[in-house]
Amino acid sequence: MPPPGGDQNNGPALLATAAVSCALAVLTTIIRLTGRTFIVRSVGWDDYTIGAATPLLEEGPNQHKN
């Protein structure tokens, strides 16, 4: 039985939400790493970990492509 009001495509809204979230995560990571590298001059293991994990954000939604 279809939902009331018929089927609705939420794909564009979900894609926009994921894109904005990913962009904010990348931006905050860049700001953090820049601050830790050039202002504090102390980069720790947590900074390396977040720097390595951030590029993986792009692969999350794309892992089920046909």
Query: Rounded CA gap, 37 and 32, in Å?
Result: 8
pLDDT (tens digit per residue) in 31-49: 999 999 999 899 999 999 9
pLDDT (tens digit per residue) in 45-59: 999 999 899 888 776
Q: Which of 64, 63, 60 is nearest to 21 (CA)?
A: 60
Identity of the residue numbered 64: H
With tokens 């564009």, the residue in question is 12
Q: Do the Cβ atoms of 50 and 29 come closer than 8 Å?
A: yes
Please give the distance of CA 37 from its chain centroid, rounded to a whole number.
22
Structure tokens at 55: 């590029």
pTM of full prediction above 0.75: no
